[in-house]
Structure 1
């Protein structure tokens, strides 16, 4: 299944798909991912395994993100400014699930993209849009925590209008990143095993300017958000560590530092697990034009990025004690079988602990 030729092979349908294949192969149109099963690229077991994984993300991701929105609407105490961003993240995840994961599940089960080129462009656009909105939502959450806890702007108060502005920003970023391939800067084509669609990482084609678009995505949609997340959580940890050092006898402060440290590690690790493979493969494809690559491996980044629709609710919501308690009460008719006391203890991503913002602000 490894391509044996160079990347500048002949293609009879260059605007629809691209498969790196040996130069001596002549009947390329017969391999179209829109017409026939792509069993020449992988065994049926590989396609069925990925299809099963996509089904897993749908079964768990859809209800988790939908419950996040419903729960926030039902419980007034959850309608904090930060939770606006978490709801925005849930909406982005639902977009990916409904248009990306569902389409990929069906296509992998058929072993080719049977829904045609228009559906490919729709899936590529919506999955990219939802993914980028989700990425920038994580960056906004991190920056909001930095502003509230570290107080770099002194008496600045994070208000509802700021939260709404943050949500709008994520949609602007998402549209800026997802729209260009529809207008001729790169294109949306089947990727990897040809059963899901995304931006064209592979081809060397001046017509599409793929290299510049990939570099734009890497910097604008991965590097920049990652820098915001690392900087914001890094400053938060330093601030809380300084307070904990001053209050070595305070069990509450020490516990806050330990739990926030754990949460930050989980958040950053989740971000990297979901998006580092995609960003790395895109960058590799730009810097290694013409080199051989395994199309089965090229499908892994897309699978990991779609799996973020399951990871994110667990990291940002279910590890938030107050949010988790309200969700359990909604599901179990007012009872919380976990026995969480939402008014005490540390909540993962939205509160540092009972230590107030003024206590952890820089002196």
Structure 2
């Protein structure tokens, strides 16, 4: 679908309709249901999906934070980063997913331009913190296991500083659209909001903002994750080869390899569609595309509030043990000891 010419664009939204539309206000995503973009079943299905993300994401991330507060043994440097990830996910699920659930139920951005800016800003902040936290987790694993700095010890205050840095980077990405560099507008089916990928309006410099996000907020974390985990796998495979008769080392190598693959795939599922879609749009101005497909990247990024905790937290035996204990589902002693043994085996692997 084509949109309006840049000089015809309203300040707070973009209408994906033919150029000969006479009354764009009649189709405003802030005023009327966007039934011209899809059927009732599509909107209500999206509303149900967003409600699931809101409930599941809010619950699992709240439990993760509460569990860390309750159990002191979880307050390690790695777990601080995982809790930072949980806080970011909670922000996205409680504000972003809930807003989308509510608006999809009415089939338009019923909360108005201010609600759109709030949803777009919070989703961007939470998403960027989550993305950078994944990079920090990879960086921490690289420092601890591969020991590139020799005897340097990654301590809790280092983890806290890295967590603070993720919020600084996130605000650097989320604030510009509020002050004129790009803008937050309804996207896809017009019931969720995000940065303006669609227009070439020079007033907002959208293309430069999209390139900034792609280079600084996607490429840098992605390259960090790939580099750190590839180095980690190389070290583990070398150790496993040198200790071919050690069953524990071989098991640790297999477990870490499996988790690394899952982590990288999870990252790509979260962010590759958004990055690819934005780049395609700015490099194919005037090309027609289905707005329903444009909703998919937003949904996948919000779904990360559920599957990121599953990958990074529920697959962490120590976290899982404490969560089970907090919920009265068992004391988790066996998993604690198993976790400690596994961590010991992996931590021993290094250049030495």
Q: What TM-score do the two structures reach when normalised by structure 1?
A: 0.94
2:241 is equivalent to residue 218 of structure 1? no
Contact 2:321–2:336, Cα closer than 8 Å, also in 1: no
Match of 2:272 among 276, 279, 299: 276
Return 5+ residue gaps in structure 1 as ranges: none
Residue matched to 2:194: 198
Asked whether the equivalents of residues 3 and 19 of structure 2 are also in contact (C-alpha less than 8 Å), the reply is no
Match of 2:47 in 1: 51
**Post-superposition offset of 1:12:** 5.8
Paired residue total: 352
Taking the aligned partners of 1:25 and 1:11, their CA distance within structure 2 comes to 14
Aligned to 2:344: 354
Per the TM alignment, residue 204 of structure 1 is displaced from its structure 2 partner at its CA by 1.1
Q: Does 1:244 align with 2:244?
A: no
Deviation at 1:275, TM superposition (A): 1.0
For the pair 1:161 / 2:151, whether they are aligned, the reply is: no
Contact 1:88 1:137 in 2 (8 A): yes
The 1:39–1:356 alpha-carbon spacing in structure 2 relative to 1, beyond 3 Å, is closer
Over the aligned positions, Cα root-mean-square deviation in angstroms equals: 1.6
CA positional deviation for 1:342: 2.1
Higher percent of residues as helix: 2
Match of 1:93 in 2: 89
Instruction: For residue 198 of structure 1, give the secondary structure of its aligned residue in structure 2.
Output: strand
**Structure 2: how far apart are the matches of 1:8 and 1:111?**
22
SS at 1:354 equivalent: helix
**What is the distance in 2 between the residues matched to 1:10 and 1:201?**
13
In the alignment, is the contact (CA less than 8 A) between 1:9 and 1:20 conserved in 2?
Answer: no
Partner in structure 1 of residue 70 of structure 2: 74
Q: Does 1:138 align with 2:128?
A: no
TM-score, structure 2 normalization: 0.97
Contact 1:145 1:232 in 2 (8 A): yes
Q: Distance in 1 between matches of 2:46 and 2:3?
A: 25
Q: Distance in 2 between matches of 1:217 and 1:121?
A: 18
Gaps of 5+ in 2: none
Q: 1:261 to 1:360 in 2, by over 3 A?
A: same
Q: Distance in 2 between matches of 1:171 and 1:178?
A: 10
Q: Pick the aligned partner of 1:84 from 80, 95, 100.
A: 80
8 Å contact kept, 1:9–1:22: no
CA separation in 2, counterparts of 1:33 and 1:10? Answer: 18
Instruction: Give the corresponding residue for 2:5.
Output: 9
Please state how far the C-alpha of 1:144 moved relative to its aligned partner: 0.3
CA contact (8 A) 1:321 1:346 kept: yes
